[in-house]
Amino acid sequence: MDVTGPETDWRSTNFRQKLVSQIDEAMRKAGVAHNKSSKDMESHVFMKAKTRPTHIAK
């Protein structure tokens, strides 16, 4: 699996937006109201991250 390039750079806007979409989908499937938006959740995790975990799905 190739994990290089702009499409897989975990700091890129495109990659982060994809994660926001995945969080949105998971929140819908859970059917539970959350007090934070998916964008807020992703932003919090991004600010704490130092590296990209290798187990994140593309």
What span, in angstroms and rounded, lies between the C-alpha atoms of 33 and 46? Answer: 22
What are the structural domain ranges in the chain? 6-48
Digit-coded pLDDT (tens) for 12-39 = 989 999 989 998 888 888 887 778 888 9
What is the model's pLDDT at position 14?
Answer: 92
Helix (H) or strand (E) holding 39: helix 38-48
What span, in angstroms and rounded, lies between the C-alpha atoms of 4 and 45? Answer: 21
Mean pLDDT score of the chain, rounded to an integer? 78
Question: In the chain, what percentage of residues exceed pLDDT 90?
Answer: 10
What span, in angstroms and rounded, lies between the C-alpha atoms of 13 and 17? Answer: 6
6-48 topology per CATH: Serum Albumin; Chain A, Domain 1 (1.10.246)
Tokens of 57: 């799905």
